[in-house]
Amino acid sequence: MRAVETQLVFKSSEAVMLKCVEGSQNLVSSLLPKLIDAIKNNKTTEAIKALEEARLRILEIIQDVDKMVQRYETLNKDVATTTSDIITEKKETEIALQRLSEEQQAIKDSIKKLEGQLNDTNAETEEIQRKIDVKNNQLQRAVRDLAAETQKMTIVAVFVPFIGPIIKAATESKFVPEATANIRRLEAELNGLHSLKASAKQRAWNLQVQLIDKRMSLAKIQTDLGIIPKPTYLQDVQIYLSKNQKVLTELKAFWNNVHSLLGVIKNKTFVGEDLINEPDLKEEFLKSMHTSSEIWGMFGVSCNKSVKIFQSQAKDAYKFLEINPTSLSTEEWQKQYDLVKNQLENLKVSGNLATSAIEK
């Protein structure tokens, strides 16, 4: 919005300068010669009419210039506000990035911790499984030893390949109670190991769920970090806005100078108007008109120089804001950066030229 407004102001400046050129040429080539001719021929009424027409033209130009001064003042304040907003945005962005970076690191630390716990739990599960395998072997040997004691138990062991029925059969047969007790002990220990394994697997699952949640949170933060523009770009925009603001300040001073100079020229143009009705003093009045004509001529030349400056500024002002820097490669970014710097340097020079042009 500021960029468009600036370009419009520069184009308006060009238009007002052209009006100054046109007004100066009109005064030099038409109105003042008409006034001088009327005085020479003692046509007081026509002289007064020409003088009033010149006054209206000059006042119209002064009013246009005054409006330009006000527009530059308003625009300059707006750009200053934008620059301030950029500074605030940059600080807020840096804080947001810092916060997200800290959150990202905290989540990464949590993920690392959870992964460690999961690895430990998986290792614990594998160790329990090894103990289960050992205990199973012990139990199977105990059952085979018990089954070998009698013909009946052997048959049960062959046809009923489950430990429970075998133990039941051994108990009912009243044979080798010590062996039966040992089998029951091994069975209890095996059940305990299975319980430990189930608990470890549940812990592993819970850790997996937590890891999924943390990794999703990490992905969201990384996405947020990718969306936030780098503060470097904001810092560069801030620098460019400040440079443009300096140009606007210089141009406002330029228009103030134009406004003041027009006031001086106006006063010099009409300094002898009271002499119109004094025939004896008409030579002095004519001399004053010739001087005014020369001044208006020089003013028109200066304004013509300024027109070209405003044409250049309207084309290049804030052009850097038309490009999204985050979409550029590093090489293209540097290329655009250097181009903008050169444009702004030229714009800065133009501002100085604009000020000096009217002073000359």
CA distance 183 to 161: 15
What is the pLDDT at residue 288?
75
Residue 148: phi, psi to the nearest 5? -75, -10
What is the pLDDT at residue 155?
46
Neighbours of 18 (CB within 10 A): 15
What is the pLDDT at residue 121?
94
Half-sphere exposure of 55 (CA within 13 A, CB side): 10
Q: How far apart are the first and last CA of the chain?
A: 34
* Tens-digit pLDDT profile for residues 186-228: 888 888 999 999 999 999 998 988 888 888 888 888 877 776 6
Q: What is the CA radius of gyration of the chain?
A: 48
* Tens-digit pLDDT profile for residues 83-123: 788 788 888 888 888 888 899 999 999 999 999 999 999 99
CA distance 94 to 31: 63
Angle at 349 between CA 346 and CA 354, to 5 degrees: 125
* Tens-digit pLDDT profile for residues 262-305: 777 667 666 655 655 666 666 777 777 788 788 888 878 878 87
Helices 2-26 and 44-147, axial angle in degrees (round to 10)? 170
CA distance 225 to 104: 10
* Tens-digit pLDDT profile for residues 116-175: 999 999 999 999 999 999 988 888 787 777 666 655 555 444 444 555 565 565 555 555
Instruction: Give me 40's structure tokens.
Output: 């020479």
Contacts of residues 134-138 at CB distance under 8 Å and 24 or more positions apart, as own/partner, are 135/186, 135/189, 135/190, 135/193, 136/190, 138/186
* Tens-digit pLDDT profile for residues 316-346: 666 655 666 556 677 777 777 677 666 655 6
Residues 6 or more apart from 171 whose CB is under 8 A from it?
Answer: 180
Q: Is the pTM value of this prediction over 0.95? A: no
How far apart, in Å, are the Cα atoms of 335 and each of 41, 314, 332, 343, 349? 68, 22, 5, 12, 21
At 348, is the pLDDT very low, low, confident or very high (cuts 50, 70, 90)? Answer: very low
Higher pLDDT, 98 or 350: 98
CA distance 353 to 10: 15
Q: Do 255 and 68 meet the contact criterion of CB atoms below 8 Å apart?
A: yes
How far apart, in Å, are the Cα atoms of 87 and each of 28, 49, 84, 231, 235? 50, 57, 5, 10, 8
Instruction: Give me 197's structure tokens.
Output: 């394994």
Neighbours of 331 (CB within 10 A): 8
